[in-house]
Homo-oligomer: A and B are copies of this chain.
Amino acid sequence: MVTARTPPIFTSPQDAAVAFYRAFEARDIDALMATWADDEDVVCVHPGGVRHVGYDAVRAGFEHLFSSGGQLHFRLEQIVTIETVGLAMQSAIEQLQAGDDGAHGVAIATNVLMRTPSGWRLVCHHASPAPAVAEMPLTGPLH
């Protein structure tokens, strides 16, 4: 008999964020999606990727990622948080290490978490590549 896992209830935005990154590292799609709000307005952007909107699209994006990429290890640095009673923002520098070849990368992540009837859940994960240089390139058509 298959026993379905009871979805966890995260009592703080930090708990939900930690569970998100643990499930990401473990490539456990069910545990990972249990950290997301089941909502059509959730948003996920992987570094350099398109924007996924809605729970199903976010899940499909992670399934694609897990099927095509190698294992990743995350170390979050310089975490900044702003928290209110119902919504919280977490900004962090993600130090990324690939499990297979040890390749290293750095991303800037903005996570937004919401307090739902089932505890705190992610409603936004926006990660983008951090520049290799200390100074930002401020020219060109993008701001």
Could you tell me which A residues sit within 8 Å of B by CB distance?
Answer: 24, 39, 41, 43, 45-51, 53, 61, 64-65, 68-69, 72, 78, 80-82, 84-89, 91, 93-94, 96-98, 103-105, 107-108, 110, 112, 114, 123-124, 126-131, 134-143
Contacts and interface: CB of A to CB of B under 8 A. Distances in A.
Nearest to A67: B138
Contacts of A131: 48-50
B65 A138 contact: yes
A84 B43 CA distance: 16
A61 B136 CA distance: 9
Contacts of A87: 82, 84, 86-89
A68 to B, nearest CB: 5
